[in-house]
Chains A and B, each alone.
Chain A
Amino acid sequence: MKTAMQIDADHIVTIVVAEQYSPYPMGRDNDDGKYNGTKFRQRFLIPSLTDDNITQVNVDLNGLALTGSSFLEESFGGLVREGLSKEQIDKLNIITNRQDLIIEITDYIETAWKERNQMQPDSE
């Protein structure tokens, strides 16, 4: 697993999940597997999304041999639960030839926002 992320001249980071993390990510936490959503979120997504020098975070999902919903929900929906702002999450750019994955990730983020707003009615 390679955790070092390269920032290009346009301040864009690209994370190729199958190469830099695992082609078989699965589950929400360590109980579910080594390459789980929480670990991916904390090692890859949060450091790049919260870095003010980075303007866009490309997450390339092509080449994954396994894409379970728990991993996707925990990785991306978890960003909202973790307290990241809308501006930070908007830096995400999902790269995949599977449109259903983009719909799924978008839905998890939107659902997490709704849940967060219900818990904190005065916030965003």
Chain B
Amino acid sequence: MSATGLQTFGLYLQTLAIVTSVIFIIIGWKVLYRNARRIAKRNETYALLMKTQNEILHAEKRGLDFWSHPTIRTSLDSYLLALNVQRIGNLLDLLSKRGLNVDDHYIYRLRNAITLDAEKPGTVTQEKIQRKLVHISDFSQRIQNDLHSAFVGRYPI
């Protein structure tokens, strides 16, 4: 091989090395970017999930307190309960947009147990109140379980 040929071959190898390096850098950057984006998204969703769980626990506690002592309640108490439940619905909507879904029956059952006839708690029979207490605790737990399973399914460890 002539000197010129060797020079051309050397240049060719040099160019190939540069191109290959650039390709590896782009691929590496893409992988890093994708992973970082996924982790960021996971963290955001997790933060939202925690906020929702706290709101559910708060509603559960407030609902159980309310219906354990129904005769001392005011209309403001029932209003606050309804607002609490509404916030849960809004947060669950946001989680649903991130692919974390909860059985709609559970949301309805929790809202029903907490807010139905909360404006006139003194008129609700003891039997219905007992059922409400069970449902508040049960459906609060079911929603939290659904959320947890959906999160683990979407972002496996």
Contacts and interface: CB of A to CB of B under 8 A. Distances in A.
Contacts of A66: 82-83, 86
Nearest to A102: B104
B120 interface: yes
Contacts of A98: 89, 93, 104
Q: Give the dominant DSSP class at A's interface.
A: loop
A27 B104 contact: no
Interface residues of A, number: 21
B42 to A, nearest CB: 25
Contacts of B108: 100-101, 103-104, 107
Contacts of A104: 108, 111-112
Contacts of B79: 26
A120 interface: no
Given A26-B82, A27-B119, A31-B120, A69 B104 contact: no
B109 to A, nearest CB: 9
A59 B119 CA distance: 24
B105 A103 contact: yes
A102 to B, nearest CB: 8
B111 A69 contact: yes
B115 interface: yes
Interface residues of B, number: 22
B119 A31 contact: yes
A70 interface: yes
Interface in B102-124: 104-105, 107-108, 111-112, 114-120
A99 interface: yes
Given A66-B86, A100-B111, A32 B105 contact: no
B74 to A, nearest CB: 12
Contacts of A101: 108
A65 interface: yes
Nearest to A73: B116
Contact of A68 (B82, B104, B105, B107): B82
Contact of A70 (B83, B93, B104, B117): B117
A20 interface: no
Contacts of B149: none
Given A68-B118, A69-B115, A107-B108, 16 more contacts: A27-B119, A28-B117, A28-B119, A31-B120, A65-B86, A67-B82, A67-B111, A68-B111, A68-B116, A69-B112, A70-B115, A99-B104, A100-B104, A100-B108, A103-B105, A103-B108
24 contacts: A26-B79, A28-B120, A32-B119, A66-B86, A68-B111, A68-B115, A68-B116, A68-B119, A69-B111, A69-B112, A69-B114, A69-B115, A69-B117, A70-B116, A97-B93, A99-B104, A100-B89, A100-B104, A100-B107, A100-B108, A100-B111, A103-B108, A104-B108, A104-B111
